[in-house]
């Protein structure tokens, strides 16, 4: 797939068969993550956690559902029963570079999303559960992140019966001004 085809075909997939992507596909997706640019070349400040353990995925799902119920939004299915959730975390920054870890993490996730699209496997950016994980000491303990790292964003991946097709994207949905 050409780069622009992958970009225009990517969309959020929220239906999964339950089957994991193959090891080779996961390797390609993670290789795309590794190819991401990173602010000040500080790759050591980003870590990925590939969560495939059904009990942990279920625990995250339940924690998110409980939080959603509290906010009156009970029918959410936060991880869409996807068999793999790749969480990207960053080293908690000092005040001057507060946004950098989130920019780094977002790029990692989008690179993986484009690779998943290219492979024809399902993927969806996930932020909803990240905030929940961040405030749940038990989940943070299960994730065993390096000291001082916080979850930033993530991507679910898995086999799907949905198809990617190139989309017409409106060219004005993100406002853009030019300064010449």
Ligand X SMILES: Cc1cc2nc3c(=O)[nH]c(=O)nc-3n(C[C@H](O)[C@H](O)[C@H](O)COP(=O)(O)O)c2cc1C
Cα–Cα separations (whole angstroms), residue 90 to 59, 66, 114: 22, 26, 21
Q: Which residue is nearest to ligand X (CB)?
A: 128
Nearer to ligand X, 10 or 91 (CB): 10
Nearer to ligand X, 27 or 167 (CB): 167
User: Which of 115, 107, 118, 110 lies closest to 37 in space, CA to CA?
Assistant: 107
> Least Å distance between CB 129 and ligand X?
7
Which tokens hold the place of 127?
Answer: 């932020």
Which one of the spans 16-24, 34-42, 120-128, 135-143 is the region binding ligand X (CB under 6 A)? 120-128
Residues touching ligand X, count (CB under 6 A): 9
Distance CA 159, CA 22 (A): 9
Query: Residue 1 burial by CB count (10 A; 0-12/13-18/19+): exposed, middle or buried?
Result: middle
| Subset of 131-160 contacting ligand X (CB under 6 A) | 153
Which one of the spans 49-57, 94-102, 125-133, 138-146 is the region binding ligand X (CB under 6 A)? 125-133
Cα–Cα separations (whole angstroms), residue 99 to 44, 93, 111, 128: 16, 8, 19, 18
Nearer to ligand X, 9 or 17 (CB): 9
Among 8, 11, 120, 150, binds ligand X (CB under 6 A): 11
Residues of this chain that bind ligand X (CB under 6 A): 11-12, 14, 124-128, 153
């Amino acid at each position: 797939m050409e780069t622009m085809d992958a970009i225009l075909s990517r969309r959020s997939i929220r239906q999964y068969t339950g089957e994991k992507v193959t090891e080779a596909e996961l390797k390609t997706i993670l290789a795309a993550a590794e190819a991401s640019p990173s602010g000040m070349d500080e790759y050591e400040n980003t870590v990925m956690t590939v969560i495939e353990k059904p009990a942990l995925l279920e625990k995250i799902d339940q924690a998110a559902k409980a939080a959603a119920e509290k906010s009156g939004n009970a029918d959410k299915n936060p991880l869409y029963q996807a068999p793999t959730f790749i969480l990207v975390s960053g080293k908690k920054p000092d005040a001057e570079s507060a946004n950098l870890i989130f920019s780094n993490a977002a790029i990692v996730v989008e690179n993986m999303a484009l690779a998943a699209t290219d492979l024809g496997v399902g993927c969806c950016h996930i932020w909803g559960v990240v905030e929940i994980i961040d405030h749940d000491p038990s989940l943070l303990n299960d994730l065993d992140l390096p000291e001082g790292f916080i979850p930033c964003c993530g991507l679910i991946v898995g086999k799907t019966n949905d198809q990617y097709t190139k989309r017409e994207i409106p060219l004005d949905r993100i406002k853009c001004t030019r300064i010449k």
